[in-house]
Amino acid sequence: MSISPRRHTVRAAALITGLGLLLSGCSGGGGGDSTLTAPGADVLEGLDEAVQVEFWHSMDATNGQVLDGLIEDFNARNEGRVEVTGSFQGDYDTALANHRAAIQQGETAELIMIFDLGTQFMIDSGRTVPAQSFIDADGYDTGSVEPALLNYFTVDGDLRSFPFNNSTPLMYINRDAFEEAGLDPDSPPADLAQIREAAEELTVRDDDGTVVQYGFGAAVYGWFIEQFMARAGAPYCDNSNGRSGRASEVLFDDPKVVELVEWWQGMIDDELALQIGRNTDEAQAAFNSGRVAMTLESTGALGGFIEQSDFEVGAGYYPLVSEGDPGGSIIGGASLWINGEGHSEQEVRASWEFVQFLLTPESQSAWHAGTGYLSVNTEGYDGPEAQERAEEFPQFSVAAAQLADSEINENTAGCMMGVMAEARATAEEGWETALTSDTPAEEAMAAAAERLNTPIEEYNASVEE
Amino acid sequence: MTSTVTATPSPATAPPRRPRTRETALAWAFLAPSIAVFALFLAYPLGRTVYLSMHGNDIIGRPNRFVGLSHFAEMASPEFGRVLLTTLLFTLGTVVPGVLGALAVVLLLEGVIRGQRFLRGAFALPFAFSVASASVIFVVFYSSGNSVLNGVLYRLGLSQVPWLTSQEMALWSVCITTVWMNLGYGVLVLAAGIGSIPREVNEAARIDGATGVRLARDVTVPLLGPQLFFLVVISTINALQGFGQIHILTRGGPSGSTTTLVYSIFEEAFAYSTSDFGRASAQALVLLLVVLVCTAVQFGVIERKVHYA
């Protein structure tokens, strides 16, 4: 299973309080003892029984097991005080839909994991205690938290939620194929032109001219456009990526994206790249089986690549559109939100203590090594599990290095917008239209960007009225 | 819709001259539970859909403003026209080959004496697959990088097919999967039908000199009329409601080329964490209308030609 990284953005602090009050007024459920500010540690003193914290998340399989291990560890240390119960809610989209239903019924979980693209929605629905208020109340030091993650989840100067399971995309190469083609696997291509050059060497045909190994192939995945734009120093949506005011339009018809899509078309037309479609599992399978020698994927895919392929896997920085682009990198994945609306101070405080435990270097070392997600706490990379993993597979350190090299600015913070999930899907559609029809890239991307105007307008109207 | 389903009070047993009011009351009493169930699970959702279709949503998905018929007016767009066209092509592309394919299998198996039951069972087997598992099998067949089908084509020296990655091909690939999934049910129904054709009819036809194609065309197929009609109606409705295979194989793509009406409803309501239940409900009502019209036309036109033995 791949880690599906997503992203999204935030803002409008003043709105939050007002909107929260407005929504709670008509929500019907919840009632009574709501907490939208951070309570101190004293609320957990003199308890008769452990405070129950229900934690909704989207981690299954291996990742779910690692998370369950952390939960057990926390419960053992807090016996009689706090008891966390993990509850798998399906994939990110389903979890958000479940949360939305829970809001309607007034029965939200204490702690929820919401993917990056849902960030603005979570802010606008105004039911959570902003992460910043815990940090301020406790004087919690965020100095060791990965700056790129803080950059993404900070809106209007306040951290809104706690980054937890996050990743960033990389370029993966088949080192064996590189060597056979006489290329240097230690310096993977750094931009589109270089990928094409390498692909010309890496593409292998049989006697009839049918391609048996393509140089390149990756999924038509909207997250990649976001990443390419960040690396090109271009904002994805207006109003400084939705961070200086509500975004009113997307900008993925930018010349850089058009250049990318045209390049992609050319690669497919010249049979240097495999046409894969939107399915990231397909792209992983194509890379694992040696059908494509270079691909783009999340850091979270590295473990699976190493395990399932029978060649040596190399990882490099995500490519630039063209040489001389500023670089930079944005993140994907999900963050943790503590619900205040309808929850007691004890529950809110207990959730925060659990989150603090998850963010310790010890927990993050185990989390990073067990799942392949970034270590949210950069000190986590020095932990024993993380060290062991880095020794065995040095490729694991590429993602952290890529983030460390990235400039922190509004372009690398990524776009914060209420309809971000739809925007990503629409960008994919425009991209795919260009790849599968005669429509020129520029026209396809412009049409896709325009289709989003109505949803953006409607979303903004519904939260601002 | 509900009234056509409720039964009429049984007139047979009661003595002729007793006051009818009691009888009627009794009938209603017996009907009450089923009326309640229909009201709860049919009338209420339908009423709710109509209500939602005329409202916009807040970001939680709750209706918060009346928009009249504007969701319906929006459907007069080339995008929605394309959705309807895709739905039509998908319906034709699954119903016609599905029914004809099942008929062909059953007729050909008539000529097989030994192992006929086994073969019928084998052909009916796809019926036992859930939509999800059947679709996952076809994901492997169609895979862009490691397609089983392309592997076979490659060994035969034929060119590769972009099963799911070309706008022209994807819909037909989904149709093939659907036809395969439906074939089993069709074979079951037609095999049962063919078994119920009286032996004398076939014998009489043979004595008259009808064999092979002639026998099938002029005797067997007309006598299978009721089963064929049933299959056409059921598979049309199935096609109009088909979702799982599209979701698993193509997610409506590439570039909207396999987005049928049902898939479009799903996208509006659930796909992008947007919860646009208003637009989704409006489209759901259009779907209801399409199903009603198709079924009515089929009953009005085709059923007249069906011979019930």
- Residue B126: which CATH number? 1.10.3720.10
Q: Are residues B111 and B260 in the same domain?
A: yes
Using an 8 Å CB-CB cutoff, list chain A residues near B146.
Answer: 285-286, 289, 291
The more confidently predicted of residues A35 and B53 is B53
Q: Which of A277, A330, A62 is nearest to A170 (CA)?
A: A330
Task: Flag whether B67 is in a domain.
Answer: no
pLDDT per residue, tens digit, chain A (465 aa), is 344 433 333 333 333 333 333 333 333 333 345 667 888 878 888 788 889 999 999 998 888 999 999 999 999 999 889 999 999 998 888 898 889 889 988 899 999 999 999 999 999 888 899 999 999 988 888 889 988 889 889 888 889 999 999 999 999 999 999 999 999 999 999 999 999 999 999 999 988 888 889 999 999 999 999 999 999 999 999 988 988 889 999 999 999 999 999 999 999 999 999 999 998 888 999 999 999 999 999 887 887 888 888 999 999 999 999 998 888 888 889 999 999 988 988 999 999 999 999 999 999 999 998 888 889 999 999 999 999 988 888 888 888 888 888 888 888 888 999 899 889 999 999 999 999 999 999 999 999 999 999 889 988 888 875
Residue B63 lies in a domain: no
Which candidate from B60, B143, B254 shows the least CB-CB separation from A103? Answer: B60
Q: Residue A380 in contact with residue A361, Cβ under 8 Å?
A: yes
Residues A277, B254: C-beta atoms closer than 8 Å: yes
- Contact of B64 with chain A, judged by CB distance below 8 Å, is answered with yes
Full-prediction pTM beyond 0.80? yes
Q: Does A126 touch chain B (CB under 8 A)?
A: no
d(CA B189, CA A240) in angstroms, rounded, equals 62
> Same domain, yes or no, for B8 and B118?
no
Cα separations in angstroms, A453 against A128, A146, A249, A252: 28, 34, 6, 13
Q: Are B210 and B218 in contact (CB under 8 A)?
A: yes
d(CA A161, CA A155): 10
Number of folded domains that form chain B? 2
**Beta-bridge partners for A55:** A86, A111
Query: Quick one: B164 and B261 in the same domain?
Result: yes
How big is the A-B interface in CB pairs under 8 Å? 102
A244 touches B at CB < 8 Å: no
User: Do A132 and A160 form a contact (C-beta atoms < 8 A)?
Assistant: yes
Q: ω into residue B254 within 30 of 0, thus cis?
A: yes
**Which residue of B165, B168, B246, B247 is the best one to mutate when testing the A interface, meaning the one whose CB has the most A CBs within 10 A?**
B165
Residues B48 and B169 in one domain: no
Q: Residue B7's CB: how many other CB atoms inside 10 A?
A: 9
For residue A234, is it left (φ>0), alpha (ψ between -120 and 50) or beta? Answer: beta
The answer on pLDDT for B63 being more than 90 is no
Chain-chain contact of B144 with A292 (C-beta, under 8 angstroms): no
Report the sign of the C-alpha dihedral through residues B239, B243, B245, B250, in that order: positive
CA B115 to chain A, closest CA, distance in angstroms equals 40
CB neighbour burial string for A220-256, b if at least 16 within 10 angstroms, e if fewer: bbbbbbbbbbbbbbbbbbbbbbbbeebbebbbbbbeb
* Test mutation, A27, A120, A275, A284, chain B, max B CBs within 10 A: A275
**Same domain for B247 and B132:** yes
Note whether B153 and B276 are same-domain residues. Answer: yes
B41/B80 same-domain check: no
- CB of A405 closer than 8 Å to CB of A397: no
Domain membership of residue B177 (yes or no) is: yes
Q: Which residue of chain A has the CA closest to B79? A: A451
Give me the pLDDT at residue A110, please.
Answer: 95
Per the DSSP assignment, residues forming a β-bridge with A172 are A295, A315
Domains of chain A: 13-167+331-404 (3.40.190.10), 169-328+419-464 (3.40.190.10)
Strands A332-338 and A111-115: antiparallel
Q: Enumerate the residues of chain B whose CB falls inside 8 A of the CB of residue A418.
A: 59
- The alpha-carbon gap from A394 to the nearest alpha carbon of chain B, in Å, equals 28
B143 and B24 inside one domain: no
B160 CB neighbours in chain A (<8 A) are 210
Residue B106 sits in the same domain as residue B225: yes
A81 touches chain B (CB under 8 A): no
Residues in chain B: 309
**Type and span of the H or E element at A284:** helix A280-288
Arithmetic mean of pLDDT, B231-248: 92
Whether B61 is in a domain gets the answer no
Q: Is the pLDDT assigned to residue B3 strictly greater than 50?
A: no
Same domain, B80 and B49: no
Contact by Cβ (8 Å): B127, B234: no
Residues B226, B108 share a domain: yes
A124: tokens are 């606008």
Backbone angles phi, psi at A179, to 5 degrees: -65, -40
Q: Is residue B65 part of a domain?
A: no
**B17 and B125 assigned to the same domain:** no
Beta bridge partners of A295: A172
Indicate which of B168, B273, B276 best probes the interface with A, i.e. most A CBs within 10 Å of its own CB.
B273
Give the pair of three-digit tokens for residue B242.
């088909």
The parent domain of residue B153 ranges over: 74-305
Contacting residues for B26 by C-beta, under 8 A, at least 6 apart: none
Specify the higher pLDDT residue, A422 or B216. A422
- Residue B66, beta-bridge partner list: B55
Measured between CB atoms, does A217 come within 8 Å of chain B? yes
B132 or A46, greater pLDDT? B132
The mean predicted confidence, pLDDT, of chain B is 86
